[in-house]
Amino acid sequence: MQNLLPKIPKYVSILTVSLSTFSGLLPSQAHAEEIVVGVEELTYYPHYSYQNGEYTGFGRTILDAWASDRGHTLTFKAYPVKRLMNALVEGTIDLKYPDNALWSSDLKEGKNVVYSDQVVEYIDGVSVLPQNSGNGVGSVQVLGTVLGFTPFSWLDLINSGTVELSEVNGLDGLIKQAILGRVDAAYANVAVIQHQLAEMSELNALVFDPNLPHTRDYYHLSSAVKPELIADFNDWMADNADRVEQLKREYGVALDDLS
């Protein structure tokens, strides 16, 4: 029987075999698909916020822009902070935002979690009453933070018993406790605390003290089950670097004023 298929050039066949052989090593653009993104069930605006079933903020806008350009459909599923990390390592979600390799590293061990390139820089630090700024570590006996968050830069002081850790269910409650003096300092994302203070008409009630221990790092997108989506997202961010920077400034999450 006559072969009616068109003749395939040899170099195409070789390339196909090579890509198939090394598909696990080379990043590839993901096909358009339906994706479940795990997010924190928390008000942490302008970075992100989940309220009344709606996910908003810088994180949502960045992910939506990528998905729209690639043809993906995103479903955002919110969890308490600790349960969200379990959902990631158990593979019940496709992606997690935000994430960082330092967060719950023991839980992730052996789970093949992959991270995107840096999405946005952040500072997690302490905000104190203005009159207490510059008073040093000794002025902080009770450190407040949001339940599920780890104040890495304070762990030695906490573990030694020098500083007591007080965990609060939400950011609003944390800020109120700091303003009332029930905790000596509020540990959270500095841009988020400043935004929330402005929303409460309490802009100058707390100030970031850069002389106290703080962490400067980056938020990433992560996955334990779909590394091809991470590679696709990285490609998109590289192609849209100016667009990403503009969105950071629109949402007020650029760190120029906090350095």
Task: Give the pLDDT of residue 16.
Answer: 32
Which tops the pLDDT comparison, 30 or 250? 250
122-216 belongs to CATH 3.40.190.10? yes
Residue 221: its H or E element: strand 215-223
Task: Give the pLDDT of residue 230.
Answer: 98
Task: Give the pLDDT of residue 1.
Answer: 42
* DSSP-derived secondary structure for 172-191: HHHHHHHHHTSSSEEEEEHH
Task: Give the pLDDT of residue 3.
Answer: 44
User: Where in the chain are the domains?
Assistant: 31-120+217-251, 122-216
Render the burial of 77-91: b for 16+ CB within 10 Å, e for the rest. bbbebeebbebbbee
Determine the 3-state secondary structure of 207 from DSSP.
strand
The answer to whether 62 and 74 have CB atoms below 8 angstroms apart is: no
**Residue 91 identity (one-letter amino acid):** G
Task: Give the pLDDT of residue 13.
Answer: 36
Name the β-bridge partners of 188. Answer: 125
Task: Give the pLDDT of residue 20.
Answer: 35
pLDDT digits (tens, 9 = 90+) for 75-128: 999 999 989 999 999 999 999 999 999 999 999 999 999 999 999 999 999 999
Cis peptide before 98 (omega within 30 of 0): yes
Domain 122-216 in the same topology as domain 31-120+217-251: yes
The number of angstroms, rounded, from the C-alpha of 164 to the middle of its chain's C-alpha atoms is: 26
The average confidence (pLDDT) of the chain is 88
Supply φ then ψ for residue 69, to 5 degrees: -65, -35
Q: What is the mean pLDDT of residues 173-186?
A: 96
CATH topology of domain 31-120+217-251: D-Maltodextrin-Binding Protein; domain 2 (3.40.190)
pLDDT band of residue 203 (cuts 50, 70, 90) is confident
Given a cut of 90, whether residue 160 has pLDDT beyond it is yes
pLDDT digits (tens, 9 = 90+) for 6-62: 444 443 333 333 333 333 444 445 578 899 999 999 999 999 999 999 999 999 999
- Joined together, the tokens standing for residue 131 give 């009159």
Residue 234: its H or E element: helix 227-239
pLDDT digits (tens, 9 = 90+) for 210-246: 999 999 999 999 999 999 999 999 999 999 999 999 9
Cis peptide before 80 (omega within 30 of 0): no
The answer to whether 157 and 137 have CB atoms below 8 angstroms apart is: yes
